[in-house]
Chains A and B, each alone.
Chain A
Amino acid sequence: NAGVMQNPRHLVRRRGQEARLRCSPMKGHSHVYWYRQLPEEGLKFMVYLQKENIIDESGMPKERFSAEFPKEGPSILRIQQVVRGDSAAYFCASSPGTSTNEKLFFGSGTQLSVL
């Protein structure tokens, strides 16, 4: 049973380009969470999705950022017109349900570097 798969592991973009980060949850998991970790900081919640639905996007910047989790395929975090401040590690986590005691399983992350 493969764990949470994120790709790419490293992504380099120039300012103004688009970044697409992909996350495939563990088999049987229908809940996906995206977190961002800026240098020297802790992980910050961005968005929580279930299949075809955004449940909580309270941590998403208002502009340039979007997320989706289609019926088929991985969850996608999309950043348009990237800026240097977007450089960070982006982690995806999945769970089978919404119990607050339910363990989240994290992917290895995507390190985004904006030149």
Chain B
Amino acid sequence: RKEVEQDPGPFNVPEGATVAFNCTYSNSASQSFFWYRQDCRKEPKLLMSVYSSGNEDGRFTAQLNRASQYISLLIRDSKLSDSATYLCVVTFSGNTGKLIFGQGTTLQVKP
């Protein structure tokens, strides 16, 4: 079983749509959680951290459910510029800070 699993998609949505991505992780000792964004296989860039209390940044909302070992990302009012691959990332205690990446979920926003 992969340490971090995501539905690869692609998700094809019209502009203005709301879209949700899910991610599960296998290691219950996982400590920190992030969503990264990657455009056309360029370097991944941090989108937002994910906390148990949930956090929101503009049109983006991230949620963490430790009991279910599940992370989500919600994008409201999708823009063309949101088209990218979204990577679910975890670290866990004693892991020397290295990031464990999911394979990514591809989003394509259509006009």
Give the B-binding residues of A (Cβ under 8 A): 31, 33, 35, 37, 41-45, 48, 55-56, 89, 91, 93, 95, 97-104, 106-109
Given contacts A100-B31, A100-B32, contact A44 B101 (CB under 8 A): yes
- In the complex, the answer to whether B97 meets A31 with C-beta atoms within 8 Å is yes
Chain B residues closer than 8 Å to A37, beta-carbon distance? 41
Q: List 11 A-B contacts (CB under 8 A).
A: A35-B99, A37-B41, A42-B102, A43-B44, A43-B87, A45-B98, A45-B101, A101-B32, A108-B43, A109-B42, A109-B43
Most buried by A among B41, B45, B97: B97
Main secondary structure on chain B at its contact with chain A? loop
- Inter-subunit contact B91/A100 (CB<8 Å): yes
Q: Are A106 and B44 in contact (CB under 8 A)?
A: yes
Cα A106 to Cα B100 with chains together (Å): 14
Judge whether B43 and A100 touch: CB under 8 Å: no
Nearest A-chain residue to B95, judged by Cβ: A100
Q: What is the minimal beta-carbon distance from A102 to any residue of chain B, in angstroms?
A: 6
Residue ID in chain A nearest B92 by CB atoms: A100
Instruction: Return B91 CB to nearest CB of chain A, in Å.
Output: 4
Q: A42-B103, A107-B43 are in contact. Are A102 and B87 (CB under 8 A)?
A: no
Q: Given contacts A55-B96, A56-B96, could you give 19 more A-B pairs where the C-beta distance is less than 8 Å? A: A37-B41, A42-B4, A42-B87, A42-B104, A43-B87, A44-B101, A45-B101, A89-B41, A93-B99, A98-B96, A98-B97, A99-B97, A100-B93, A100-B95, A100-B97, A101-B49, A106-B44, A109-B41, A109-B43
By a CB distance below 8 angstroms, the chain A residues around B100 are: 45
Give every chain B residue within 8 A of A91 (Cβ-Cβ).
43-44
B46 at the interface (CB under 8 A from A): yes
Contacts of B46 in A (CB 8 A): 103
Once the chains bind, are A108 and B42 in contact (CB under 8 Å)?
yes
A43, A97, A102, A103, most chain B CB atoms within 10 A: A43
Contact A106:B97 (CB < 8 A) given known A100-B31, A100-B91: no
